Amino acid sequence: MKNRDKWITIVFLIFILSIPAITVVRNVFGPAQGQEQLTDEEQAILENNGALGNESGGRKPEDAASSEQQPAFVRMQGRINTFIEGLFGRTRLIAFNTGLTSLLTGGTYIESTQTLLGKNDMFFYKTELDGHPIWDYMGINHFTEQELAAIAANLIATREYLEEMGIEFYMMCMPNKEIVYEEYMPDTIARVEEVSRGEQLAAYLNKNTDLVFVYPKNALLAAKEETPVYYSTDTHCNQKGSFVSMQELFAAAYGTKAALDSVSFRTDATDYSGDLVAMAGLTGKYSIDTVFVFETESADPAQYHDQVLLFVGDSFGGFLSAVSKGYYREVHWVYSTNFKHSMYEEYQPDVVIWEWAERYCEEFAKPILITK
């Protein structure tokens, strides 16, 4: 018995230690080998969705501006995280662990640090390293009055700054998927407060300022009764949800609004699997989403603006800006973390829309659109 336990321990240690060793060898002699490749279709979808970055790069704070200015601990942690992300066999091990827990629980639970399996094969983002979407859902991280006032002051100052350059300024906060599809959340996660942080912020700004700040929760709730507005397997809304959200902004900014059934969408795929199942290593098992693509030529000409739009946002901005191309002469999309003041001169925008997903909405307090 003792010898058996000893050999089991030795084999386990060899297995565990071999993974980082093989990773180092692979990175030195062949970093491209063994990495899983996306199909052209998946690559195109993820690029449009914002998951793979855009003309100015992805939302990766550790890469932003100046890594040399970061504390040594932060730089070291970033290198460790990068190494862990590239561990040999990581995706297969995650998939095995996820599949095993799903099998043992009859498909009602998966073991993942980032992905939560809800009802009806609906996946949610439960990370604590990329915002706190579950806290937002539970309503346990509301802003203080001082924090709300600081956000309002920054947004008002930003609007005034842009107005001096003749630029219109509008804002939007995209609801977390958990807020729109609450009925599919596991019963084990209870809401302490029904009003989420994004809704709290929108209510405060609409009551205390004259800013155009859009939180399209109610419009998305109404639209989802007729069609999916978020992917089941992805964090993001699809292009139908993006259209509905942009129409809410147009209503607030311009007083015009088109119905979802007044425009056309083509179907590009019916077996898409998004970022959430990829994180859990379940891409092959849950290829269940339909990809809708907004046909910009179906946009109502009465809503067209002969203007240049600079859309500054996060990964939701991929589809939001894609929809916007049906309504503006030019549309430029850039990640908030990669925005540079020189872009005002480069793009000569008539309109700036600043967007953050709800899990990042504290970022509205930062004067990034003003700072040179």
Q: Which helix (H) or strand (E) holds 199?
A: helix 197-208
Are both 249 and 350 inside the same structural domain? yes
Question: What is the per-residue pLDDT for 63?
Answer: 39
Domain that includes residue 281, residue range: 115-365
* Residue 58, in any domain of the structure: no
* Residue 18, in any domain of the structure: no
Asked if 118 contacts 124 with a C-beta cutoff of 8 angstroms, the reply is yes
* Residue 11, in any domain of the structure: no
* Residue 19, in any domain of the structure: no
Are both 129 and 267 inside the same structural domain? yes
Does residue 60 surpass a pLDDT of 50? no
Are both 169 and 315 inside the same structural domain? yes
Are both 88 and 197 inside the same structural domain? no
Q: Which residue has the higher pLDDT, 346 or 63?
A: 346
CA–CA dist 347, 310 (Å, integer): 7
Q: Cβ neighbours of residue 102 under 8 Å, at least 6 residues apart?
A: 109, 110, 117
* Residue 174, in any domain of the structure: yes
* 3-class secondary-structure state, position 50: coil
Mean pLDDT of all residues in 228-253:
98
Question: What is the per-residue pLDDT for 33?
Answer: 40
How many structural domains comprise the chain? 2
Are both 91 and 197 inside the same structural domain? no
CA angle 323, 50, 167 (to 5 degrees): 55
CA angle 358, 355, 66 (to 5 degrees): 95
- In this structure, of 96-105, 118-127, 228-237, 353-362, the range with the lowest mean pLDDT score is 96-105
Are both 146 and 83 inside the same structural domain? no
CB atoms within 10 A of CB 317: 28
Tokens of 371: 């700072």
Does residue 44 surpass a pLDDT of 70? no
- In this structure, of 6-20, 67-81, 160-174, the range with the lowest mean pLDDT score is 67-81
Band of pLDDT at residue 30, cut at 50, 70 and 90: low
Question: What is the per-residue pLDDT for 285?
Answer: 85
Does residue 287 surpass a pLDDT of 90? yes
Of the residues 101, 124, 150, which one is the last residue of a structural domain? Answer: 101
CA–CA dist 79, 52 (Å, integer): 20
CA–CA dist 118, 9 (Å, integer): 36
Mean pLDDT of all residues in 216-231:
98
Question: What is the per-residue pLDDT for 125?
Answer: 93
Mean pLDDT of all residues in 76-88:
47
Of the residues 42, 77, 101, which one is the last residue of a structural domain? Answer: 101
Does residue 154 surpass a pLDDT of 80? yes
Band of pLDDT at residue 12, cut at 50, 70 and 90: low
Bridge partner list, 292 = 267
**How high is the mean pLDDT of the chain?**
81
Residue for token pair 């659109």: 369
Question: What is the per-residue pLDDT for 18?
Answer: 54
Asked if 163 contacts 169 with a C-beta cutoff of 8 angstroms, the reply is yes
* Residue 223, in any domain of the structure: yes
Question: What is the per-residue pLDDT for 17?
Answer: 55
Residue type, 357: A
Mean pLDDT of all residues in 147-165:
98
Band of pLDDT at residue 62, cut at 50, 70 and 90: very low
Residue type, 30: G
Q: Cβ neighbours of residue 71 under 8 Å, at least 6 residues apart?
A: none
Are both 91 and 149 inside the same structural domain? no
Contacts by 154-161 with C-beta closer than 8 Å and gap 24+? Answer: 154/364, 154/365, 154/366, 154/367, 155/205, 155/209, 155/211, 155/213, 155/364, 156/209, 156/211, 157/367, 157/370, 158/354, 158/367, 158/369, 158/370, 159/211, 161/369, 161/370
Percent of the chain with pLDDT over 70: 70
Are both 88 and 192 inside the same structural domain? no
Are both 95 and 209 inside the same structural domain? no
Residue type, 98: T
88-128 pLDDT, tens digit per residue, is 444 444 444 444 444 434 444 445 778 999 999 999 998 88
* Residue 243, in any domain of the structure: yes
* Residue 298, in any domain of the structure: yes
Does residue 315 surpass a pLDDT of 50? yes
Tokens of 325: 């191309």
Tokens of 288: 């269940």
* CA-closest candidate to residue 282, choices 127, 128, 35, 107: 107
Question: What is the per-residue pLDDT for 28?
Answer: 55
Are both 194 and 321 inside the same structural domain? yes
Are both 96 and 206 inside the same structural domain? no
* CA-closest candidate to residue 302, choices 351, 266, 255: 255
Percent of the chain with pLDDT over 90: 64
Asked if 192 contacts 142 with a C-beta cutoff of 8 angstroms, the reply is no
* CA-closest candidate to residue 315, choices 368, 258, 283, 356: 356
Question: What is the per-residue pLDDT for 331?
Answer: 98
Are both 82 and 213 inside the same structural domain? no
Band of pLDDT at residue 244, cut at 50, 70 and 90: very high
CA–CA dist 62, 42 (Å, integer): 25
